[in-house]
A and B are shown apart, each in its own frame.
Chain A
């Protein structure tokens, strides 16, 4: 009887944990979903398209947010450094252009061209990907590692520890994480926080 109760409690606890996860997005260790989103070149992109990738640096970002803008050059540098090593950058704009007109698909095309983005810049028009991942702000990074057919979240957080002055950065969270994955090591600091702009969710 006691055993049954414990099993029941365990079952209940597990369902509760899964529910909580589903509600608030991913934690480090979660399995991430793939998606099919429109790129600034008009093509639909899925992570499954990248046969040779070992993983991905998924970055929720946008045009209008000053923090996102301050990181644009560093995001390009990340892609240049890591795409060839199997970890390309996939940038996703989840903002509702009704609330942030600068983040419309047309403006994304302009921004990607002006800055010379070397990576896809995708439009999450239903905001479902951002919701599934649990992104709350821009920029917000999720590093995924490909293991067989699954994508596992290995890092969530900021790009580094100084949004303002790249030369004063003392901790490169994303680089350290990807370097660790490439070397088959554990990610040293797998969850960080940063100030960012809220994702502009559509009004229900």
Chain B
């Protein structure tokens, strides 16, 4: 009896740890060249890269639309990546808590850079630097066709936009 209890306890602990590990989303801290590699990668897909931060209200408002896109288009070779501009010091606390609470399933990277004047033009020349912003790269035919949106998407807009790539 006691042995069984002990066993269940271990099982419980194990499963708890398993659930915990599943829940906490791994967030890779990246530098600008990693972002550049992501934007220009050779993978033959449509990349949707959204720039956001936990403190940016319009960004948070539109995140569920990107999550929906990630879910509904995963079998259509559409790859959603969320690039956080939060401070790297806030990764373990604020950012991970937020991702867990909102149950974010898309890939999340945290861009740890400070001198953005050097980088913004390289992401897209017309970007003023405001977030939310989203870059869509259509590389299905290896042509890396980029579109940039310095705006907040409303419900359904981003999915409609991606659907047009398939029409």
Contacts and interface: CB of A to CB of B under 8 A. Distances in A.
Interface residues of A, number: 25
Contact of B130 (A99, A162, A197): A197
Q: Give the dominant DSSP class at B's interface.
A: loop
Contacts of B121: 193
B152 interface: yes
Given A195-B85, A195-B120, A161 B114 contact: yes
B116 interface: yes
B71 to A, nearest CB: 26
Interface string A158-202: 100111110010110100000000000000000011111111100
B129 A137 contact: yes
B10 interface: no
Interface in B104-149: 114-118, 120-121, 127-132
B56 interface: yes
A193 B129 contact: yes
B159 interface: no
Nearest to B120: A193
A100 B57 contact: yes
Given A193-B129, A195-B129, A162 B115 contact: yes
Given A66-B55, A164-B87, A196 B130 contact: yes
Contact of B127 (A158, A193, A199): A193
Interface of B: 53, 55-58, 85, 87, 114-118, 120-121, 127-132, 150-152
7 contacts: A99-B57, A137-B130, A161-B114, A171-B117, A193-B117, A194-B117, A200-B58
